[in-house]
A and B are shown apart, each in its own frame.
Chain A
Amino acid sequence: MSSQVMGVSDQELIQRYVSGHQAAMSVLMHRHKSRIFTTIYQLVRHQELAEDLFQDAFLKAMQTLQAGRYNEEGKFLPWILRIAHNLCIDHFRRNSKISLVRGNDDWDPMEHMTDTESHAEDKMMMKQSIHKVKQLVARLPEEQREVLIMRIYGDLSFKEIAEATGVSINTALGRMRYALSNLRKLIHQKGIVL
């Protein structure tokens, strides 16, 4: 990314894109790609599908901008995350009864973990606990799971989550509260120590 655009706001980049500078969208993409992709990935848990949805989200955003229908006043990230989230839901609706965030028992959140000089037993216990806790997220009701994923993996603030999901901040916080409460019940059932 050019140092000239490092300090440029999202809103300004959007204006530049709308006025014909295609590269401005690329800057936005690189600026926010980690948070957008991580959020989509955590929702669908499939690399290629997440990449397709990431692409579709940007293409849809570009179409909306070109059609002059964007009025989010500088809140690009919550806006595109809302687009991405809707695309994830559309995908799963098209593919019928597959739940948003698949509870894939084969999924190993620690698969990339490497060992240096760790104590093998401690490492194994930690790995198992984290693995179980992460799997339990898939059992949460959709609205709770969505808030949890957007906050933890998308790194959105609760204000941004509220904007992205079209609810009040108190509702977003309430969903997180229930998500944490439900997770703790499930963790207790599994005998995992926090």
Chain B
Amino acid sequence: MNENHILYNQLILHVFNELSPSESASFEHQLISDPFLQEERRIVSSLIRMLQVPISDGRNLRYHPSPQISFAALTRLEALMGV
């Protein structure tokens, strides 16, 4: 794997908050001196936020959460489980 891929993998892990504290600190140090990386992080974060469609964006829009399994389906399954 080349260095760019390793760095981009770190960027993805950083956006998803999956870096360890020491890895995160190291990545953020790199981020400070790299405007390209900063822009990449901004774009990836924006994209992820759009895909997530927040329940509330904190402004004037309000969203309901994603579709959920119905109570009837859960009850049916519990009956099959013998609960």
Binding site for B on A (CB under 8 A): 22-23, 25-26, 29-30, 33-34, 37-38, 41-42, 47, 50-51, 54-55, 58-59, 62, 109-110, 112-119, 123, 126, 129-130, 133-134, 137, 148, 151-153, 157-158, 170, 173-174, 176-177, 180, 183-184, 187, 194
Residues of A within 8 A of B80 (CB): 55, 59
| Segment at the A interface, from B1-9, B20-28, B29-37 | B1-9
* Binding site secondary structure of chain B: helix
* CB < 8 Å neighbour of A62 from B12, B18, B63, B81: B81
The answer to whether B12 and A152 have CB atoms under 8 Å apart is no
Residues of B within 8 A of A55 (CB): 73, 76-77, 80
* Smallest CB separation, B77 vs chain A (Å): 5
Contacts A113-B63, A123-B61, A130-B50 known; 15 new A-B pairs at CB < 8 A: A22-B83, A29-B78, A33-B69, A37-B68, A54-B77, A55-B80, A114-B62, A116-B62, A133-B47, A134-B51, A153-B66, A158-B12, A177-B9, A177-B12, A184-B43
Binding site for A on B (CB under 8 A): 1, 5, 8-9, 12-13, 16, 18, 43-44, 46-48, 50-53, 59-64, 66-70, 73-74, 76-78, 80-83
In angstroms, Cα B81 to Cα A59, docked, is 8
Residues of B within 8 A of A157 (CB): 16, 18
The answer to whether B52 and A152 have CB atoms under 8 Å apart is yes
A170-B1 in contact given A58-B81, A177-B8, A177-B9 (Cβ < 8 Å): yes
In angstroms, Cα B17 to Cα A34, docked, is 21
* Smallest CB separation, A58 vs chain B (Å): 6
Residues of B within 8 A of A26 (CB): 78, 81, 83
The answer to whether A118 and B60 have CB atoms under 8 Å apart is yes
In angstroms, Cα B53 to Cα A177, docked, is 20
* Smallest CB separation, A38 vs chain B (Å): 5
* Smallest CB separation, B67 vs chain A (Å): 5
The answer to whether A37 and B69 have CB atoms under 8 Å apart is yes
In angstroms, Cα B40 to Cα A177, docked, is 12
* CB < 8 Å neighbour of A41 from B53, B61, B66: B66
The answer to whether A176 and B12 have CB atoms under 8 Å apart is yes
